[in-house]
Amino acid sequence: MNKASARNMFIGATVIVSAIFLYMTVLSIKAMPARANTPQLTEEVAWGKKVWEKHACIDCHTLMGEGAYYAPELVNVIERRGEAYVRVVLETAAIQGWGTTRKMPQFDLSKKDIDSLVEFFKWMGKIETSNWPPNIEG
Amino acid sequence: MTYKYESQRVAFPYFVAALGLFAAQILFGIVIGIQYLAPDFLFPAIPFNIARMIHINLLVVWIIFGFMGSAYYLLPEEVEGEIYSVKLAWLHFWMFLVGGATAIVGYLFRWHDGREFLEQPFIIKVAIVIVVLMFIFNMVMTMIKGRRRTSITIVLLIGFLGLALFYLFAFFKPDNMVMDKYFWWWVVHMWVEGVWELIMAAILSFLLIKLTGVDREVAEKWLYIIIGLTFLTGIIGTGHHYYWIGTPEFWQIWGAWFSAIEVLPFVAMIAFSLRMVSLRSRKHPNGAALHWTIGTAIVSFLGAGVLGFMHTLPQINYYTHGTQMTASHGHLAFFGAYAMIVMAMASYAVPNLRRKTGEIMSQKAEIFAFWTMVISMVCIALSLTGAGVVQSYLQRVLATSYMETQSHMGIFYGMRLFFGATFTLGFIVYLYDFFLLKRATSR
Ligand code: HEM
Ligand code: HEM
Ligand SMILES: [Fe+2]
């Protein structure tokens, strides 16, 4: 093989795999309403996501297995702990932080923020994640 | 003076900035490493999430500084002409440095966005795009004005264009978290397993040509094979991140097959390096640069190829996804591929850029630093692999709670911190050698 044919193979391969990849992306987006319950994505859920981002929760926790590994998985936290417990955590965090060993810092969370985060977690919990995590502990 | 082109010297501040930011990155790595063992350390002044975003953002910023510096060094020699505008190079150097520093300091005051690796506030993101476009403009103009067009510069340019293009997805923040994550990976995965590999392979080819004296035709053929394999496997390989995030299940098949062969470009880079060295006609006096160059081919293979492969199949990833296994792979892959390729270029270029001569000074200290850093990072990755295996088993198989599982992993975090300390030691020797020893002797 010489340089020119190596280059042509690079171009050819790139074009083909990109086309396949884009097609699969279209399929993935089409599947989203069903797998991610887009119709149930209310304004509250959207606000919850903004609060999640505002405090960079992802830089301690994982969400669907992505993020940092310093604190528990939260995609199924409502199922694992129950809504009441999650509310206690967030309400306490709004005042003084949470936790005994590794601690969650104090965050300025309004009542609306907390309600929205709970709705956000509930919505996240319904995403079709192909049976992940393997068990309730996340 | 051995630099052939006066404008190459603008590469020097880029390497200095890269090393400075690298040092800060390590400092914050140590901070979060300590927090894993002593959670109250610096809490609540600098909580884990803030220190972590600083650690990984500094990493990305210094690597990009290193890429730009490498490009400014190699462009004139490749195209046989001066950089189009040295002023522009200095201007976007300062813009990038000030913008980067502002972001990092801002993080300490909770001025940040909320997605991993993309924590930069909106205006900083805009500034980054402008800086990269200024750089690309300068690069393209240099290539147009130059006397020669080489494959290395073209591949490098595709790499930078891709870096800019995929970063644009950082601006897309849909309300739907599944959609958000889908395109988040178009920045992160498409960078490290796509376009950055082109930049890496181009720099590697340049270095191997310089260090072995082997004919460019041979190297450039390899270069196209490597990047062909990169895109062939890496683009659809993105699917290895689409197993469990609400995306269709066909990704489990496509992602598995294509990402499993993502090891090929890394194997090809090792084969390429060894082939070039075996063909060499002379021994280049810069042994340290050769250490870093061959080292990057080997360590990136271990970090990306081997550790990446270990958790890329859905049957395994189901248990290891988002555990310390991921952190283990992230460290060795980033270090082996991108930190080391920048260090290789610094090692080769900087002696040529220094004041009096391009003469190679004693390299004992640098080679000591090389081994210390490489061995330490391999040991960090091994410690985290141990942690990841224990975590996957206890938490994912036995359903032990997260915090209970963590309480059994202290030994591995201790080991990680210990090797983090030896890594730091090696790096201090490197910096001492770079800034004091070599500088003093090259006056
Ligand atoms: C030498 C001392 C270092 C220590 C103690 C250290 C420690 C850490 C810690 C504790 C985390 C957070 C992991 C988590 O979320 O639980 C982290 C993340 C990370 N570090 Fe380091 N680090 C060091 C050096 C480096 C170097 C040299 C690199 C790359 C060249 C690097 C790249 C990364 C990356 C890419 C992540 C994110 C990993 C992921 O998201 O999976 N670190 N580091
Ligand atoms: C130089 C190249 C590479 C770099 C710098 C790199 C870096 C990373 C980083 C930082 C992450 C963590 C992302 C996060 O924060 O969630 C990650 C995840 C991952 N990487 Fe790589 N990677 C590279 C190549 C590869 C290759 C070649 C493979 C497979 C053969 C691979 C397989 C994976 C997998 C499967 C994950 C997801 C882990 C999980 O499920 O938690 N990587 N990589
Ligand atoms: Fe990936």
pLDDT in tens, B235-248: 999 999 999 999 99
Say what percent of chain B tops pLDDT 90.
94
* Separation CA A116–CA A110 (nearest Å): 10
For residue A133, is the peptide bond before it cis, meaning its omega torsion is within 30 degrees of 0?
A: yes
Query: Which member of B36, B224, B399 has the closest CB to residue A137?
Result: B399
Query: Which member of B43, B178, B399 has the closest CB to residue A103?
Result: B43
* Separation CA B144–CA B434 (nearest Å): 34
Q: What are phi and psi of A129, to 5 degrees?
A: -100, 25
**Looking at beta carbons, which residues of chain A come within 8 Å of B57?**
none
- Does A13 contact B220 at a Cβ distance shorter than 8 Å? no
pLDDT tens-digit series, residues B169-207: 999 999 999 999 999 999 999 999 999 999 999 999 999
* Separation CA B233–CA B220 (nearest Å): 20
Return the SS3 of B1: coil
- Mean pLDDT confidence for B349-354: 88
For A114-128, B18-32, B126-140, B345-359, which range has the lowest pLDDT when averaged over its residues? B345-359
Q: Which residues line ligand 2 (CB under 6 A)?
A: A 65-66; B 116, 192-193, 240-241, 259, 262-263, 300, 304-305, 308-309, 311-312, 317, 321-322, 326, 329-330, 333-334, 337
- Does B114 contact A54 at a Cβ distance shorter than 8 Å? yes
pLDDT (0 to 100) of residue B437 = 82
Please report which confidence band the pLDDT of residue B357 belongs to, taking 50, 70 and 90 as the band edges.
low
pLDDT (0 to 100) of residue B353 = 86
- Does the structure show a pLDDT above 60 at B217? yes
What does the CA dihedral B224, B294, B261, A6 come to, rounded to 10 degrees?
10
* Separation CA B236–CA A16 (nearest Å): 10
Please give the C-alpha separations between residue B341 and each of A54, B202, B208, B295, B335, in angstroms, as whole numbers. Answer: 35, 10, 12, 9, 9
Contact B127, B100 (CB under 8 A): no
Residue A31 contacts B where some CB pair is shorter than 8 Å: yes
- Does A128 contact B246 at a Cβ distance shorter than 8 Å? yes
Residue A45 contacts B where some CB pair is shorter than 8 Å: yes
pLDDT tens-digit series, residues B43-55: 999 999 999 999 9
Please report which confidence band the pLDDT of residue B442 belongs to, taking 50, 70 and 90 as the band edges.
low
Non-local (6+) Cβ contacts of B338 within 8 A are B63, B66, B192, B196, B200
- Does the structure show a pLDDT above 60 at B299? yes
pLDDT (0 to 100) of residue B358 = 57
The candidate with the shortest Cα–Cα distance to B245, out of B188, B302, B194, is B188
- Does A3 contact B396 at a Cβ distance shorter than 8 Å? no
pLDDT tens-digit series, residues A93-106: 999 999 999 999 99
**Closest B-chain CA to A102:** B39
The candidate with the shortest Cα–Cα distance to A127, out of B173, B323, B181, is B181
- Mean pLDDT confidence for B49-65: 98
* Residue B122 token pair: 């909106």
Alpha-carbon torsion (B217, B335, B22, B127), positive or negative: positive
Identify the bridge partners of residue B351 per DSSP, sorted by sequence position: none
CA atoms within 13 A on the CB side of A40: 13
- On average, the pLDDT of chain B sits at 96
* Residue B34 token pair: 């300590």
* Separation CA B82–CA B142 (nearest Å): 7
* Separation CA A30–CA B175 (nearest Å): 16
The candidate with the shortest Cα–Cα distance to B60, out of B196, B202, B226, is B196
Say what percent of chain A tops pLDDT 70.
100
Contact B366, B412 (CB under 8 A): no
- Mean pLDDT confidence for B213-232: 97
pLDDT (0 to 100) of residue B360 = 73
CB contacts < 8 A (A, B): 202
**Looking at beta carbons, which residues of chain A come within 8 Å of B321?**
65, 132
- Mean pLDDT confidence for A109-119: 98
- Does B238 contact A21 at a Cβ distance shorter than 8 Å? yes
What one-character DSSP code corresponds to residue A61? B
Domains of chain B as residue ranges with CATH = 6-441 (1.20.210.10)
Q: What is the least distance, in Å, from the CA of A6 to any CA of chain B?
A: 5
* Separation CA B110–CA B230 (nearest Å): 38
Please give the C-alpha separations between residue A54 and each of A104, B57, B120, B198, B422, in angstroms, as whole numbers. Answer: 15, 17, 12, 34, 36
Residue nearest to ligand 1 atom 30, measured at CA: B335
Please list the alpha-helical segments (H only) found in B238-363: 251-260, 263-279, 287-300, 307-310, 314-320, 324-333, 340-353
- Does A59 contact B48 at a Cβ distance shorter than 8 Å? yes
- What's the start-to-end Cα distance of chain A, in Å? 50
The residue whose CB lies within 8 Å of the most ligand 1 atoms, and thus the one to mutate among B26, B328, B331, is B331
For tokens 């269709």, the residue is B248
**Looking at beta carbons, which residues of chain B come within 8 Å of A100?**
none
- Does the structure show a pLDDT above 60 at A38? yes
Please report which confidence band the pLDDT of residue B282 belongs to, taking 50, 70 and 90 as the band edges.
confident
Please list the alpha-helical segments (H only) found in B168-285: 177-190, 196-212, 216-237, 251-260, 263-279
**CA-derived radius of gyration, chain A:** 20
* Separation CA A93–CA B235 (nearest Å): 41
Please report which confidence band the pLDDT of residue B440 belongs to, taking 50, 70 and 90 as the band edges.
low
H/E stretch holding B364 = helix B364-391
* Interval between CA B416 and ligand 3 midpoint (Å): 23
Please report which confidence band the pLDDT of residue B443 belongs to, taking 50, 70 and 90 as the band edges.
very low
What one-character DSSP code corresponds to residue A58? G
**Closest A-chain CA to B154:** A7
Q: What is the least distance, in Å, from the CA of A113 to any CA of chain B?
A: 15
pLDDT (0 to 100) of residue B355 = 61
H/E stretch holding A63 = strand A62-63
* Residue B59 token pair: 């990493």
The candidate with the shortest Cα–Cα distance to B234, out of B166, B172, B180, is B166
- Mean pLDDT confidence for B18-34: 98
pLDDT tens-digit series, residues A56-74: 999 999 999 999 999 999 9
* Residue A133 token pair: 């995590």
Residue A135 contacts B where some CB pair is shorter than 8 Å: yes
- Mean pLDDT confidence for A121-138: 97
Non-local (6+) Cβ contacts of B171 within 8 A are B122, B125
- Mean pLDDT confidence for B8-31: 98
- Does the structure show a pLDDT above 60 at B1? no
Non-local (6+) Cβ contacts of B381 within 8 A are B302, B303, B307, B328, B329, B331, B332
- Mean pLDDT confidence for B379-399: 98
H/E stretch holding A67 = strand A66-67
- Mean pLDDT confidence for B269-295: 95
- Asked whether B59 lines ligand 1 (CB < 6 A), one says yes
Contact B160, B139 (CB under 8 A): yes
* Separation CA A23–CA B140 (nearest Å): 32
The residue whose CB lies within 8 Å of the most ligand 1 atoms, and thus the one to mutate among B21, B32, B240, is B32
pLDDT (0 to 100) of residue B9 = 94
* Separation CA B375–CA B419 (nearest Å): 9
